[in-house]
Structure 1
Amino acid sequence: MIEERMVSIAVSGAADASIALRRFTPLAGGPAILLLHGLGERGEVFRPAAGAGLAPWLAEVGYDVYVPDLRDRATQSSPLPDISQTQLICEDLPALFQLIAGEHPAERFAVIAHGWGGVLLACALCREPTWLDHVAGVVHIGARRVCAQRNWQRWLQLDLLWNRLAPLWGRRLGYVPLSRLGLGTADISLRLHADAQLWQNGGNWRDPQDGFDYSAALDGITWPSSLYLAGRGDHCMGHFADVKAFARELGRHDAQLLKLQRGAGSSRDYGHRDVLTHPQAMDDHFPLILSWLARQTDVQTP
């Protein structure tokens, strides 16, 4: 039996700020796992329908699953806050780490990050590397920093929609309507869009607000064991070659990279979002994720 409940946690150092968090708790308890969404998404990407998705699936097999909506997301009726990427990195993610550490003292937790959530996670751990001792392992799903592809999907999604139309429309509305542009299911702030745009177009991996050099910080740390997944049908947002380049950018570590494609253990060529939301994912690669996690967290798989 799984208990699903919504809670709100305060963000340290940010006045009147809180993070909406959905927690899936197994009846017998279990090791913690944090699921981080990317830009243009909410935590619902891990639970697209009641009882469906990676979050309840992991809870069913014994994990205590934490699924936040980072602060740049807004409800349909509330205004979108002018959140920056630096705030997510320096305030939201440490607050989530602290919550899990408080609920699971003296235990390590795993992290699954989708898309740009993997970049935000890497940045937060570079900023506060003491949290690396708390992380048992990381699963990156379609996570990349720079898009180096030169195909029509990149021209349409990144060059035209993301780089040109999104900021133009955003200046009119006061926020970037990724949902209306077909680039996600949630909208983001202009500042967050500008920050991400700088990095994914090949800009140096430095913080645009205080100049923190993430590339230099990586030289002094050892990244946790990681599993990298990318769908063959993801041609821009999480292309396999870009995911591989991101793994290399994080430095030498225990890394396993897998391409999810028809005829090679998958029933279909997965894209950027359906890698989490398609019903067949539960049979294709969710068990693979579970098997890998079990080796990091000492959980017996069914």
Structure 2
Amino acid sequence: MIEERINSISIPLAENAALQVRRFMPTANGPAVLMIHGLGERGDVFCPAHGAGLAPWLCEAGYDVYVADLRDRVSDSSVIPDISQYQLICEDLPALFEQVGADHPDERFFVMGHGWGGVLLASALIRQPAWLERIAGLIQVGVRRVCHQRTWQRLLLFDLMWNRLAPLAGRRQGYLPFRSLGLGAADLSRKLHTDSQLWQNDGNWRDPQDSFDYAAALHEISWPSSLYLSGRNDRCMGHFEDVKAFARELGNHDAQLILLQKGSGSSRDYGHLDVLTHPQAVNDHFPLILSWLARHSDTATP
């Protein structure tokens, strides 16, 4: 039973905060994969039901999978902490790298991001490039920094809901009630929302807290092999053209980009969430991810 191989980990941070991680441990010692969710989501996107989802599926295939929940409220009744993007990039993600690296001291490991989680991952690796020596490969699912599209989905979800209605609700409640607005599975701090807006609205890739210039630092970065996936029905949060633009923004590297659409190896046109949560994904592109991991696992030992 996969439930018997799930280990809960609490990683302490400053200010009495902690990160919660679910570790899906295989029966044999395999390469590690660290999974990071996007804004307004939780790690559940990688394991939406008991025994279902990409995390347990890869565990059954022999991978040691870490599903992180980025810093959030302690409980549904507690106050949303005023988390900044700087804290996630400079504190949360390095702590997760440390945890996986300590558990696999003589191995490289894989990292995977979904949505804005992939931007946070890339940002953390740019700020702490020494970790790139430990990364065997990078998988980005529906990851884009800037939304260049002018579709009705963008007008509704991004321009109206994300940029206008959510901040209005945030001023009244002190946080952005994504769950009640139907925008996600987790509420968001106002500071984190404001920080991400600066980058998503075609702003410079510069940290609003300490002015660190990620775009300038990219010239010194050598990325590992990377796999980029986008669903045909993802018209706003991870549109294929925006995913492609983000891959190009990172610079020259071994990047494979795949559009998941019906008739081209997929049984359906996938969207932003169901690319990970739909039951048919097990047959459509989970094997593709597994094959890509297997091809790069020979680099998992320094």
TM over 0.5: yes
Whether 1:9 aligns to 2:17 is no
1:83-94 map, 5 Å: 83-94=83-94
Q: Tell me if structure 1 keeps the 8 A contact 2:73–2:79.
A: no
Structure 2-normalised TM-score? Answer: 0.96
Partner of 1:274: 274
Partner of 1:122: 122
Render the CA deviation track for 1:5-47: whole Å, top value 9, x for unaligned.
2121112xx2211101111001112111101100010000000
Partner of 1:20: 20
In structure 2, C-alpha distance between the alignment counterparts of 1:150 and 1:102, rounded to whole Å: 44
SS at the partner of 1:122?
Answer: helix
Partner of 1:176: 176
SS at the partner of 2:138?
Answer: strand
Render the CA deviation track for 1:76-116: whole Å, top value 9, x for unaligned.
22221110000000000000000111100020000111000
In structure 2, C-alpha distance between the alignment counterparts of 1:96 and 1:216, rounded to whole Å: 25
Which structure's residues are more often helix, by fraction?
A: 2
Partner of 1:37: 37
Residue 183 of structure 2 aligns with an amino acid whose one-letter code is L
Identity within the alignment, %: 69
Offset of 1:153 from its aligned partner? 0.5
Residue 8 of structure 2 aligns with an amino acid whose one-letter code is M
Offset of 1:57 from its aligned partner? 0.3
Structure 1-normalised TM-score? Answer: 0.96
Partner of 2:52: 52
In structure 2, C-alpha distance between the alignment counterparts of 1:74 and 1:296, rounded to whole Å: 37
In structure 2, C-alpha distance between the alignment counterparts of 1:79 and 1:114, rounded to whole Å: 26
Partner of 1:97: 97
Q: Tell me if structure 2 keeps the 8 A contact 1:72–1:82.
A: no
Partner of 1:159: 159
SS at the partner of 1:62?
Answer: coil
In structure 2, C-alpha distance between the alignment counterparts of 1:69 and 1:98, rounded to whole Å: 15
Residue 242 of structure 2 aligns with an amino acid whose one-letter code is D
Partner of 2:205: 205
Residue 12 of structure 2 aligns with an amino acid whose one-letter code is A
Q: Tell me if structure 1 keeps the 8 A contact 2:35–2:113.
A: yes
Residue 160 of structure 2 aligns with an amino acid whose one-letter code is L
SS at the partner of 1:204?
Answer: coil
Whether 1:244 aligns to 2:251 is no
Cα distance, 1:152–1:73 mapped onto 2, change above 3 Å:
farther
Residue 221 of structure 1 aligns with an amino acid whose one-letter code is I
Partner of 2:216: 216
Q: Tell me if structure 1 keeps the 8 A contact 2:230–2:239.
A: yes
Residue 7 of structure 1 aligns with an amino acid whose one-letter code is I
Residue 199 of structure 1 aligns with an amino acid whose one-letter code is W
Render the CA deviation track for 1:139-173: whole Å, top value 9, x for unaligned.
10000000000011000000000000011100111
SS at the partner of 1:146?
Answer: coil
1:63-82 map, 5 Å: 63-72=63-72, 74-82=74-82
In structure 2, C-alpha distance between the alignment counterparts of 1:170 and 1:74, rounded to whole Å: 19
Offset of 1:75 from its aligned partner? 2.9
Runs of 4 or more above 4 Å deviation: none
In structure 2, C-alpha distance between the alignment counterparts of 1:152 and 1:217, rounded to whole Å: 35
In structure 2, C-alpha distance between the alignment counterparts of 1:130 and 1:277, rounded to whole Å: 33
In structure 1, C-alpha distance between the alignment counterparts of 2:291 and 2:111, rounded to whole Å: 14
Q: Tell me if structure 1 keeps the 8 A contact 2:20–2:68.
A: yes
Q: Tell me if structure 1 keeps the 8 A contact 2:33–2:63.
A: yes
In structure 2, C-alpha distance between the alignment counterparts of 1:5 and 1:75, rounded to whole Å: 20
In structure 1, C-alpha distance between the alignment counterparts of 2:72 and 2:146, rounded to whole Å: 21
In structure 2, C-alpha distance between the alignment counterparts of 1:147 and 1:73, rounded to whole Å: 28
Partner of 1:186: 186
Residue 278 of structure 2 aligns with an amino acid whose one-letter code is H
In structure 1, C-alpha distance between the alignment counterparts of 2:196 and 2:100, rounded to whole Å: 27
Number of matched residues? 297
In structure 1, C-alpha distance between the alignment counterparts of 2:80 and 2:237, rounded to whole Å: 23
Offset of 1:73 from its aligned partner? 5.2
Q: Tell me if structure 2 keeps the 8 A contact 1:227–1:256.
A: yes
Render the CA deviation track for 1:262-282: whole Å, top value 9, x for unaligned.
000001000000000000000
Offset of 1:287 from its aligned partner? 0.2
Q: Superposition RMSD on alpha carbons, in Å? A: 1.1
In structure 1, C-alpha distance between the alignment counterparts of 2:105 and 2:28, rounded to whole Å: 17
| Structure 1: gaps (5+ residues) | none
In structure 2, C-alpha distance between the alignment counterparts of 1:52 and 1:77, rounded to whole Å: 28
In structure 2, C-alpha distance between the alignment counterparts of 1:297 and 1:171, rounded to whole Å: 47
